[in-house]
Amino acid sequence: MRMTLFVPFVIVLASVAPALCQDDSSGGAFSPDQLDNLLAPVALYPDPLLAQVLLAATFPDQVDEAARIARANSDPDLIDQQPWDVSVKAVAHYPTVVAMMADKLDWTTALGQAYANQSTDVMAAVQRLRVEAQSAGNLATTPEQEVVDDGGNVEIWPAQPQYIYVPVYDPSVVYFGRGGLYAGISFGQAFFIGAWLNNDFDWGGHRIYYHGWGDGRGWIARSRPFVHVSNVYVNVGFRNVVHNRTVVNRTVNYTALNRYQAVHGNVNYGNIRVNNNVVNYNRTVVQAPVTNKVIERNINVNDSRIDAYRGHQGQPQAQPQPQAPSRPDNTAFGGNRGGFNAQAASQRGQQSRSAPPPNPPAAHNDKPSDSHDRRR
């Protein structure tokens, strides 16, 4: 016999979805389609940069502060002196990346929550997207990046020992091979590889690990002779790679995320799946001022389905209106219309798949040293 309980509850302003799941288990807060949309703008970043972005996203307040300082002062020594997490310092050495993360702080926070709750699922989403881009013919080895198939996992490494490039692409088309001017990947300026890129992916182990510039494989071995190692980024305290789990307590404007239909146009972040239960909430209610008004919650004990939105009387929830067939609005993350790819148009005429310019910016020039500090 099915039993229905009616329990009163008080409306509370909160970040409903991510706070419901506190471990890295299956059936977490974000569905695969939602993760694909979150990861689409950065899934094609080189592995060492993406590793730092995921960790730094769990420190959104520090990212915001780092972007302000990076805009005001390009001195890398000033970045190294800040009390931020080491991952935030690493990302701050790449001004376009930290600026994008700060400008879209809801997205950054949601990305950090997804990584804190579901790191394995996040890594699976990255691999899914990379395989799609590769199958579409839009992900391949170039003078700027090396694409490596490592036991079925797609790795992306810096192709040059001293420089790393941030890819510029439109997430709404790069994974599908629709053709046209903006289908592929282009690259902006060359950034220096420095000691701050001290983490990398262990795709087989589904983890981010600290290599401390002692790993002799691939891009690490290639870049090591050009990197000045100091204990700011290389010391034994970083062997245990940590992230900020309290990011799950931050409120996220999921309505803003619903605008970024980069890969799956029908994804709605207002309906978050948690451990096979579905929490449906009315954004108008959740975002309203906190009151003491009590309304009913209908709890079905047998199937654990919780309908917690105002006025539910057992009727099916209205389905979202279908998206128009035109390309979705992903100006926050990129494409040819601003935000993530704001400089893409001006760069296209001058981008090249050749070696970096003969006079790269000297701001981050890590010269090799014979007296490297190898404390790890």
> Is 302 contained in some domain?
no
Predicted local confidence at residue 247, as pLDDT: 94
Per DSSP, helices labelled H in the chain are: 16-19, 32-39, 47-56, 60-72, 76-80, 86-92, 95-103, 105-135, 171-174, 218-223, 254-257, 283-286, 344-348
d(CA 234, CA 197): 10
Using CB atoms within 10 A of its CB, is residue 116 exposed (0-12), middle (13-18) or buried (19+)?
Answer: buried
> Is 296 contained in some domain?
no
d(CA 309, CA 290): 15
Percentage of the chain lying above the pLDDT 70 cut? 61
CA-CA-CA-CA torsion for 167, 345, 95, 190, nearest 10 degrees?
50
How many domains does one find in the chain? 1
> Which range of residues forms the domain containing residue 163?
31-268+320-348
Q: Assess whether pLDDT exceeds 50 at residue 240.
A: yes
> Is 354 contained in some domain?
no
d(CA 353, CA 350): 10
Mean pLDDT of the chain: 73
Predicted local confidence at residue 165, as pLDDT: 98
Using CB atoms within 10 A of its CB, is residue 101 exposed (0-12), middle (13-18) or buried (19+)?
Answer: buried
> Is 281 contained in some domain?
no
> Is 133 contained in some domain?
yes
Q: Assess whether pLDDT exceeds 70 at residue 119.
A: yes
Across residues 157-172, what is the average pLDDT? 95
Predicted local confidence at residue 10, as pLDDT: 32
Closest to 43 in 3D by CA, of 205, 155, 135: 155
141 to 148, 149, 153, 235, 338: CA distances (angstroms):
8, 11, 15, 33, 26
d(CA 278, CA 280): 6
**pTM greater than 0.85 (yes/no):** no
Using CB atoms within 10 A of its CB, is residue 217 exposed (0-12), middle (13-18) or buried (19+)?
Answer: exposed
> Is 251 contained in some domain?
yes
> Is 376 contained in some domain?
no
Q: Assess whether pLDDT exceeds 70 at residue 369.
A: no
Q: Assess whether pLDDT exceeds 90 at residue 347.
A: no
Predicted local confidence at residue 76, as pLDDT: 81
> Is 18 contained in some domain?
no
Q: Assess whether pLDDT exceeds 90 at residue 154.
A: yes
Q: What are 153's strand-pairing partners?
A: 150
